């Protein structure tokens, strides 16, 4: 048996990230009992609230359970003391993202809304200014975007942004892996050490990435216990899935377009018809993303359902960046179809590229970080689940 010295300040620190009501908790466990996702392999939210209250920081940050929760809000509806466990889970995820990031940027973006807005604006402005510094003429007969901002410049800045994002994300992932593996008592040997271990790892990775993250299986099947059920077009899992698929679709279209240019099949910026693969994917994905993000924003404004009762600046930052990226993209499309090239089309383009780059650059530091941490959490969950089943 090990003895853990508790961190007296953990709870105070957590409160900076939200969850004002959770101290009303008296550990009855109703939340865990009613949660459709909580099971033997991952029991929450009660135990995580306990970690926070008592001051078990390492246990909290090592909880894969944080990422099994999709914030349906059922626990908050059934909580006898209105401690709002669902909001606590969201808070703990914010805290975890901030803790996995050693730079301190994520902490600022989550806990200081005004400063976060300033940073977001400055970063976008800086990226735009940097690209504008190398700008060419604005052709007025037809919209020639890549004469205005050279495509090579965009490519290289884009690559730089992706590298920074990947490095920061990797650091966070490694830190999270260390914490979770310690709590789960999973060593390197358990993951890669033998053929059965490797098989189990691959199966868990498939479940975490393909089935759950891309397929949204449990979000769709187990988390949809709304009573009365929302109409399909408003159901959270679908709105969320359309957002993911839309974002990934746009990423694929972008990479595809770049790939075509690298293969010298098609120069970046050459006019192409709507049915052209990269453009078709981009258009459909864009519509999907815009639908999802807009539905989320509407739900947050109207506070429809328990999940949307509390909206933090961090929630809005991600939605706004996604929405601006999508909306400006479609405005560029519109500008392309206008007979004379409008001047605002060029500015829209500059804005679009800057916001999209910022979105990727800040990914590990914003709510967007759940896109990398959740699959890792779900990986550990799938491993544990397989263990529970075989035990």
Partner 1 sequence: MSEPRRIGVYICHCGGNISDHVDVQRVREAVAGHADVVVAETKLFACADGTQHEMVTAIQEQNLDGLVVASCSPKLHQITFRGVAKRAELNPYTYTQVNIREQCSWAHTDDPEGATQKAIGLVRAGIAQSRLSTPLNPLVVETLPRTMVIGGGVAGLRAAIGLADIGLQVIVVERGSRVGGWLAQLGPMFPNDRSGREQIDALLAEVAKRPMITVITNAELVGKSGSFGNYTALVRVNGEPDNVLEVEVGTFVVATGTDVYQPELGEYGYGIDGVLTLAEYSALVDSASGRLTYRDRPVRSVAYIYCVGNRQPGGNEYCSKFCCAATAHASIKVSKLDPKVKQYHLHRGIRTYGTYELMYSESRERGSVYLRFPDDTPPEVAKLPSGQLAVTVLDPSTSDAELTIPADLVVLVTGMVPRQNDELTNLLKLPVGSDGYYNEIHPKLRPVETVVDGVLIAGTCQGPKTAGESVSAGLAAVTQSGGILKKGFAELDPLVATVRPAACTGCAECVSSCPYEAISMTPADGREVAVVSAATCKGCGGCVPVCPEDALDLLGHTDAQTLASIDSLLEEAVR
User: In the complex, which residues of this chain contact partner 1 (CB under 8 A)?
Assistant: 1-6, 8, 11-12, 23-27, 46-47, 50-51, 53-56, 59, 81
Of 90, 98, 83, whose CA–CA distance to 67 is shortest? Answer: 90
Q: How far is the CB of 192 from partner 1 (least distance, A)?
A: 28
Q: Are 18 and 87 in contact (CB under 8 A)?
A: yes
Nearer to partner 1, 51 or 95 (CB): 51
> Which residues touch 100 (CB under 8 Å, ≥6 apart)?
61, 106, 171, 172, 173, 175, 176, 179, 369, 373
Distances (CA, A) of 74 to 84, 139, 306, 377: 10, 56, 8, 21
Q: How far is the CB of 232 from partner 1 (least distance, A)?
A: 40
Nearer to partner 1, 55 or 305 (CB): 55
Nearer to partner 1, 53 or 144 (CB): 53
Of 13, 18, 108, whose CA–CA distance to 362 is shortest? Answer: 108
Q: Are 71 and 86 in contact (CB under 8 A)?
A: yes
For residue 61, the Cα-to-chain-centroid distance in whole angstroms is: 18
Q: How far is the CB of 185 from partner 1 (least distance, A)?
A: 12
Q: How far apart (Å, rounded) are the C-alpha atoms in residues 351 and 345?
A: 10
Q: How far is the CB of 63 from partner 1 (least distance, A)?
A: 11
Nearer to partner 1, 17 or 351 (CB): 17
Nearer to partner 1, 85 or 326 (CB): 85
Of 369, 258, 317, 343, whose CA–CA distance to 123 is shortest? Answer: 317
Nearer to partner 1, 32 or 207 (CB): 32
Nearer to partner 1, 55 or 158 (CB): 55
Q: How far is the CB of 37 from partner 1 (least distance, A)?
A: 20
Q: How far apart (Å, rounded) are the C-alpha atoms in residues 106 and 93?
A: 12
Of 272, 377, 362, whose CA–CA distance to 322 is shortest? Answer: 362
Q: How far is the CB of 8 from partner 1 (least distance, A)?
A: 4
Nearer to partner 1, 19 or 168 (CB): 19
Residue 63, Cβ neighbours under 10 Å: how many? Answer: 27
Of 320, 308, 375, whose CA–CA distance to 87 is shortest? Answer: 308
Q: How far is the CB of 46 from partner 1 (least distance, A)?
A: 8
Q: How far is the CB of 29 from partner 1 (least distance, A)?
A: 8
């Amino acid at each position: 048996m090990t003895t853990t010295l508790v961190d007296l300040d953990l709870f105070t620190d957590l409160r900076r990230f939200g969850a004002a009501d959770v101290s009303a908790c008296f550990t009855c466990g109703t939340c865990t009992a009613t949660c459709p996702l909580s099971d033997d392999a991952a029991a929450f939210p009660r135990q995580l609230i306990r970690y926070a209250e008592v001051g078990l920081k390492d246990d909290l940050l090592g909880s894969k359970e944080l990422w099994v929760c999709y914030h349906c809000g059922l626990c908050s509806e059934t909580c006898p003391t209105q401690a709002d466990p669902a909001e606590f889970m969201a808070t703990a995820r914010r805290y975890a993202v901030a803790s996995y990031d050693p730079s301190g940027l994520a902490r600022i973006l989550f806990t200081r809304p005004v400063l976060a807005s300033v940073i977001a604006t400055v970063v976008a402005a800086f990226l735009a200014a940097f690209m504008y510094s190398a700008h060419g003429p604005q052709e007025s007969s037809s919209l020639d975007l890549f004469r205005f901002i050279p495509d090579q410049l965009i490519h290289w800045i884009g690559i730089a942004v992706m590298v920074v994002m990947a490095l920061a994300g990797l650091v966070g992932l490694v830190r999270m892996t260390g914490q979770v593996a310690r709590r789960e008592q999973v060593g390197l040997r358990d993951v890669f050490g033998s053929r059965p271990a490797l098989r189990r790892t691959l199966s868990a990775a498939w479940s975490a990435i393909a089935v759950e993250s891309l397929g949204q299986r449990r979000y769709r099947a187990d988390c949809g216990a709304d009573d009365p059920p929302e109409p399909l077009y408003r159901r959270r899992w679908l709105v969320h899935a359309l957002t993911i698929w839309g974002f990934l679709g746009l990423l694929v279209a972008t990479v595809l377009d770049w790939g075509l240019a690298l293969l010298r099949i098609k120069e970046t910026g050459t006019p192409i018809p709507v049915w052209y693969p990269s453009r078709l994917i981009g258009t459909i994905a864009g519509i999907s993303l815009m639908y999802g993000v807009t539905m989320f924003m509407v739900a947050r404004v109207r506070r429809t359902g328990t999940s949307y009762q509390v909206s933090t600046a961090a929630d809005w930052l991600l939605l706004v960046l996604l929405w601006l990226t999508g909306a400006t993209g479609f405005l560029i499309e519109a500008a392309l179809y206008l007979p004379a090239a409008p001047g605002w089309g060029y500015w829209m383009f500059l804005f679009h590229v800057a916001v999209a780059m910022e979105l990727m650059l800040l990914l590990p530091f914003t709510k967007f970080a759940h896109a990398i941490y959740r699959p890792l959490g779900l990986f550990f969950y799938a491993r544990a689940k397989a263990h529970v089943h075989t035990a």
